[in-house]
Structure 1
Amino acid sequence: MNDRLVGILSDGEFHSGVELGELLGVTRTAVWKHVSQLATYGLKVEKVKGKGYRLEHPLHLLDESRLRDALEGRWKDKLREFNVAHSVGSTNVELLKSSRDLPVGLYDILLAERQTAGRGRRGRVWVSPFAQNIYMSVAVRLPGGFSVLNGLSLAIGAAVADAINTVCNIEVSLKWPNDVWYSERKLAGLLLEVQGEQEGPVHVVVGLGVNVLMQPEAGRGIDQPWTALNDVCEAGVDRNQLCVALIDSVLLCLESYKSKGFLGLKGLWDKYDLLKGRQVMVSSGNECWSGEYLGVSDEGYALVRGEDGGLRSLAGGEITVRPVS
C-alpha cells in the first residue's frame, strides 16, 4: 500500500484525501495513517487544507519496465531474474538467498529504492536514503573455484567507474581496491560476497552503491569525504539511464572476466587509478607503514614500495590504503 502511495505522490503535486482513498481503495482515515508512515522512508509530506497532500520534493523513481526494456536486447538470454523493490534490508542479503540455485551463465539482478540495513566493506553501514541513490546487486555463478576471484572486485570497480564517466562525463578515479572517487571524495563503492566450495563453482553477489541525489542531511553520519553525482554532473542525472549503463558495463565486465580474468581488464583499471605514484599509508591489523603506491599487478594486488625500499604485494580485503598527499 505504501509503495502505491509513494508512486502517486511522486509527481510532487497535491492529491486530495478523497482522490487518494479512491485510488488506494481505503477510507480517508486510512489515507492519513498511510501518509504518516511515509516518514519511515525519510519522506516529508505537506498537508494543506483544501488541497490535500504532496511530497516536499518530487521523486524520480526507478522504472522497472523501462529498465527491463532497455536491457532486453543485449541481455535477454542472460537475465534470469530482474526486480526493483521499494525497500529491502540489503540487496546483497536478499539476492544471496534468492539466487542460490542460479545456473552458471545466467544473472539475477535486484535494485531497491532504499535499504534499511545497507552494508559496505569491513562491516561499515552503507547510508541508503529512499529514491536518492542507486542500490544494486548482481548475482553470478563462476566456474573454477575461489582462485578465479583474484582481481574480480577491481575489474568490476573499473567497469563502474567507466559507466559513470560515460554517462556523466566527469573525471572519476579508483582508489584501490574498488572505491570510485571524484575529486578525492567517495562517489560509489562495492561489496562482493561469495559462497561455494574451494574447487567448485562459486556463487558471487556484487553489491553496488552509487551516490546520485544524496542530500547533506542524509549523509551526515558518513565517516569519510563523499560526494554525489547530482552535485558534480552539470546536466543532472537520470537514475534509470545510469542504472542501464551500470548494469550493461558490469555484465560486460563479468563476461570478459570469465574468459580473460583481471588481466583482460587491467588496462581499464589503470586508466582510472587514483593513487599511482603517490605516497600512501597502509594499515593491516596492528601494522601501519608508509610507502609509494606503484599501481596494481596483473593479478590485481596493490604494489607498494616501503620506505626501506622493499616492494610488497597487497591482497584486497586485508589492508586499507589511504592517500597521504
Structure 2
Amino acid sequence: MAPDLTLQRVADLRRGIISTLADGKFHSGAVLAETFGLSRTAIWKQIHSLAAYGLEVYTVPGRGYRIAEPLELLDRNAIISALSDAWFKKHGTIEVNFETDSTNHRLMQRLPGADIHAQALMAEFQSAGRGRRGTTWVSPFASGIILSLGWRFESTPQAVAALSLAAGVAVADALSQSAGLVTRLKWPNDILCLGGKIGGILIESRGETTGPFNVVIGVGVNVGLSDGVIRAIRQPVTDVRRNASRDFTRNQLAADLIGSLASMLRRFERYGFKSFINSWRELDYFQGKEAELIFADRKVRGTVEGIDDNGLLIMDLQGKRQSFSHGELSLRLGV
C-alpha cells in the first residue's frame, strides 16, 4: 500500500475498482490508473488486495484485469423501488454498506441509545460474519445477501424463542417469491435446498422485563457461490442461482427478504408463533428422520417428531418423547 493512501482513501479506491470491474469485462491497468489517479503498480497492488474479499481477478497481459463473474451490486434505490411491503416502504429505513465487520453487530451497537426499529442494514462483505455457536459465515464479496433487520417490540412477545423459526418461514417465502425456489427448514435456523444449506438466521436481542424488547434478525443467503468456495465449505451448501426456476435480481431478492421479514414481525407481534406453526411444519426437512442432536458436552440420537406449539424440538429417544429448547444445539442426520 502506498504510504500516502489513508484508510478511507483505500476503502474508496477498492469500492471504485470493484464497481468498475463489476461488469465482468477487461479493464486495462493504464485506464484504471488514469481513472483513479494512481500508478499502474499501485493499481496492481489494489487489484491483488481484492483476494481478501474472496474475489477472483484474472490478469491478462495486453488486456488488463477482469473478475471471474460479473457482479450485481446492491443498490439502495433499486431495493426501495422493488419493495412490495407498503408499510416498510413508509416506515422503514435501508442502509447498504460496502464492507462491515458484522451487520448484526453494527445494529446491536446502536442500542440502547438509538432506535433500531424497522432498520435494515446490508453489506456487500462482512469481515467477521457470524453464525450460531460462534461459527463464521462465509460469503465472498457480493455473492450473497447479508442482511440484518432491527425491530422493537413494546414488550417481550410470547414464545419469543420461536422467532427464528418464524423468520425461517419468512425467508423461505421470499426465496419462493423471488426465484421460485422450493426450500425446506432445519431446526432451528437453517434454510435448505435439495439438502444443501442455502441460508441461515442469527437472532440477537436486548430488553428489559417490563419494557421494550429489541431484536436484530440476521439473515445470510447464498446467491452465487463459486465452485471453489462450495468445495471449501465443510458442509453441503448450495445457492440461489443453481436452483432458481425463474430469473431474479439480487436487489429484488433483497427487497423481498426485507418485506417478508417485516411482514412476519408485525404478524408475530400480533398473533405470536401460532400463526406460523403449520407453515413451519410443512417445511420441516427432518420430520420423521433419524437424527443426532449435539450439545456442548453430549449428544442424543433418535427420531425427529417435529416441533411443539412453542417451537421446541420434539424427539423420540428409544421410545421416550423429549422436548429440546433453542440454544447451543446442532442437528445432524443420523448415519
* TM-score when normalising by structure 1: 0.90
- SS of equivalent to 1:77: helix
Contact 1:192 1:205 in 2 (8 A): yes
Counterpart of 2:64 in structure 1 is 52
The letter of the residue matching 2:121 is: L
- Alignment CA distance shift 1:73-1:166 (3 Å): closer
Alignment of 1:58-97 (within 5 A): 58-71=70-83, 74=86, 75-79=88-92, 81-97=93-109
* Alignment partner of 1:198 out of 202, 209, 225: 209
Amino acid at match of 1:320: S
CA gap 1:281/1:72 in 2 versus in 1, 3 angstroms: closer
SS of the equivalent of 2:286 reads coil
Alignment deviations for residues 158-213 of structure 1 (CA, whole Å, 9 cap, x no partner): 11112112322232101111211112221111111112223322221111111111
**Alignment equivalent of 1:316, drawn from 319, 323, 326:** 326
CA 1:100–1:4: 2 relative to 1, 3 Å: farther
- Aligned residue in 1 for 2:163: 152
Q: Return the alpha-carbon distance in structure 2 between the equivalents of residues 286 and 256 of structure 1.
A: 37
Q: Residue 22 and residue 318 in structure 1: after superposition, are their counterparts in 2 closer, same or farther (change >3 A)? A: closer
Contact residue 181 and residue 240 of structure 2 kept, 8 A: no
Cα distance between partner residues in 1 of 2:270 and 2:50: 47
- TM-aligned CA deviation for residue 147 of structure 1: 5.3
Q: 1:19 to 1:151 in 2, by over 3 A?
A: same
Root-mean-square deviation over aligned CA pairs: 2.3
Structure 2 residue identity aligned to 1:322: R
Question: Amino acid of the residue matched to residue 82 of structure 2?
Answer: A
Counterparts of 2:217 and 2:27, CA distance in 1: 39
Kindly provide the CA deviation profile for residues 33-76 of structure 1, in whole angstroms up to 9, marking residues without a partner as x: 33232232222333444443332322121122201222386123
1:188 maps to which residue?
A: 199
Deviates more, 1:22-31 or 1:58-67: 22-31
Tell me, in whole angstroms, the C-alpha distance in 2 between the residues paired with 1:39 and 1:95: 27
1:119 aligns with 2:137: no
What is the CA–CA distance in structure 2 between the aligned matches of 1:271 and 1:98, rounded to whole Å?
Answer: 37
2:249 is aligned, of 238, 255, 262, to 238
Q: Does 1:32 align with 2:44?
A: yes
Report the equivalent of 2:5.
Answer: none
Instruction: Describe the shift of the 1:95–1:220 C-alpha distance in structure 2 as closer, same or farther (beyond 3 A).
Output: farther
Q: Is the 8 Å Cα contact of residues 144 and 201 (structure 1) preserved in structure 2?
A: yes
For structure 1, which segment, 134-143 or 212-221, has the greater mean C-alpha deviation from structure 2 after superposition?
212-221
Contact kept, 8 Å, 2:147 with 2:219, in 1: the verdict is yes
Deviation at 1:316, TM superposition (A): 1.1
Cα distance in 1 between the residues matched to 2:121 and 2:44: 31
Aligned partners of 1:283 and 1:319 also within 8 Å: yes
User: Aligned-pair distance for 1:238?
Assistant: 2.0
Instruction: List alignment gaps of at least 5 residues for structure 1.
Output: none
Q: Which runs of 5+ in 2 are unaligned?
A: 1-12
Alignment correspondent of 2:139: 128
Q: Is the 8 A contact 1:146 1:197 kept in 2?
A: no
Q: Distance in 1 between matches of 2:113 and 2:269?
A: 19
Residues 1:6 and 2:41 are matched in the alignment: no
- Give 3-state SS (helix, strand or coil) of 2:294's partner: strand
Flag the 1:302–1:97 CA change in 2: closer, same or farther, 3 A: same
The worse-fitting range, judged by mean Cα deviation, of 284-293 and 208-217 is 284-293
Whole-Å Cα distance in 2 between the matches of residues 261 and 146 of structure 1? Answer: 7
Q: Is the 8 A contact 1:116 1:128 kept in 2?
A: no
1:301 corresponds to 2:312: yes
Change (3 A) 1:33 1:289: closer
In structure 2, relative to structure 1, the CA distance for the partners of 1:72 and 1:304 (3 Å cut) is closer
User: Structure 1's 287 and 19: CA in aligned 2 closer, same or farther, altered over 3 A?
Assistant: closer
Counterparts of 2:305 and 2:63, CA distance in 1 = 62
How far has the Cα of 1:87 moved from its partner?
Answer: 1.6
Higher relative CO (Cα under 8 Å, sequence separation at least 6) belongs to 2
| Rounded Cα–Cα distance in structure 1 between residues aligned with 2:234 and 2:59 | 35
The DSSP-based 3-state class of the residue aligned with 2:206 is strand
Output the amino acid matched with 1:96. Answer: M
Structure 1 stretch displaced more, 117-126 or 46-55: 46-55
Q: Distance in 1 between matches of 2:90 and 2:251?
A: 21
CA distance in 2: counterparts of 1:6 and 1:102, whole angstroms: 32
Q: What is the percent sequence identity of the aligned residues?
A: 36
CA offsets 1:217-250 (integer angstroms, 9 cap, x no match): 2234423211112222244542112111111111
Distance change (3 Å), C-alpha of 1:38 and 1:67: same
- Structure-2 separation of matches of 1:152 and 1:50: 55
